[in-house]
Amino acid sequence: MDNSRFQLHSCTFIIIIIFITGLATKSESIGINYGQIANNLPSPENVVSLIKCIGATKVKLYDADPKVLKAFANTGIEFMVGLGNEYLSKMKDTNKAQTWIKTNLQPYLPSTNITSIFVGNEVLTFNDTSLTSNLLPAMQSVHTALINLGLHKQITVTTTHSLAILQTSYPPSSGTFRPDLAPCLASILTFQAKTGSPFLINAYPYFAYKDNPKQIPLDYVLFQPNEGMVDPSTNLHYDNMLFAQIDAVYSALGSLGYGKLPVHISETGWPSKGDEDEVGATVENARKYNGNVVKMISSKKGTPLRPNSDLNIYVFALFNENMKPGPTSERNYGLFKPDGTPAYNLGFSLSSSSSSSSSSSPPSNDAVNNDTSSGAPPHPPTSSTGYLSISSATSLFSLTQERYCFLGLSLSFLLPLLMILKF
């Protein structure tokens, strides 16, 4: 696809301009999951401008695609790079881990801002003893390799978890890990506390609603006005499920003595289309959920249990991916279609930092075992990229973008105000 045509598509249809003075504040960092299980996606060079348009400063990549890492050089965008589950047994060998880093990451440093490696994706909820036993040794080996290469202060090592590692999540103060996983988790948490890496969780309130639409209020999962719930132990009020899930994870960490470990949401999202039995998978619900997640990030609002902690959230996902297997929803989590146009009205302003290309300066269960408030089915096997199947587990003003790209103006600072106006 021609670069100028792609930028016209990706920016012309989605820009909102509001002229204000003294009221704008810079939004908190927005993360985005960049999946590539599709045969019709734009080139990574064209994706750079789209990432900038949504004001995202962090990208989670499910592999170490050299084309992507090269395209994002000198953009300043932070990258979390994935090592798929199929690599775990090999990565136990420090020499192999070091070779992988030297081959796949080091050539792009420091131009590309790689800040983290997540080793394995939702390994513990596969109930695969081989994968589970290899996880921590692989993480330790990768970290040792980074030390040997002098990169350990720049790049942290972590892993992602499904919310199904929890035994209970309701009320949030009662959050606990599954007893069969607690010993393994304790060792991983010791490693993460020592090395300073965050605890990554994939959380999807959508699945809790889909499985129990008569019991769970839709407004509660979509961040809409609702009565919410009060945790009887802490007396904290929750008006949305995502915050309740995050705090349940903090409580579970605290029960093992790691309550100070930061929790980052490595995936959350909502499908804009689904099969007949996929209740709630609609354009309107996806617009509300993803738009309000961004609004929450921009408002610098923490959870009830951690009101002063930053929300580090990666929205799933950047594109609809037409080759993902499974139900219809699997192929409709994207904020954008492959041609760069929005999958739906995002409800917030998208900005562009440049009119040039990159030369400028799935997933998971959202659910909890034995917990009807957020239960989810088991996962299928991982793909060759370590990218899982999720289901198993009018603008206020419309102007063309080119004139603002030409002026080199970034409008991401308008996100907080525009989100409030829209929602």
Instruction: Catalogue the active-site residues.
Output: 122, 267
Nearest to 149 by CA among 88, 192, 99, 78: 99
Nearest to 226 by CA among 292, 137, 305: 292
Please check whether residue 297 is in contact with residue 306, taking contact to mean a CB–CB distance below 8 angstroms: no
Please check whether residue 223 is in contact with residue 288, taking contact to mean a CB–CB distance below 8 angstroms: yes
Please check whether residue 51 is in contact with residue 358, taking contact to mean a CB–CB distance below 8 angstroms: no
- Residue 43, helix vs strand vs coil: coil
C-alpha separations of 77 from 56, 110, 128, 157, 193 in Å = 8, 12, 35, 18, 25
Residue 406: its H or E element: helix 402-407
Nearest to 8 by CA among 404, 346, 349, 402: 402
Write the DSSP symbol of residue 374.
Answer: S
Cα gap 134→47, rounded to integer Å: 34
Please check whether residue 378 is in contact with residue 392, taking contact to mean a CB–CB distance below 8 angstroms: yes
Please check whether residue 306 is in contact with residue 315, taking contact to mean a CB–CB distance below 8 angstroms: no
Extract the tokens encoding 14.
């989605």
Backbone angles phi, psi at 68, to 5 degrees: -70, -50
Please check whether residue 303 is in contact with residue 247, taking contact to mean a CB–CB distance below 8 angstroms: yes
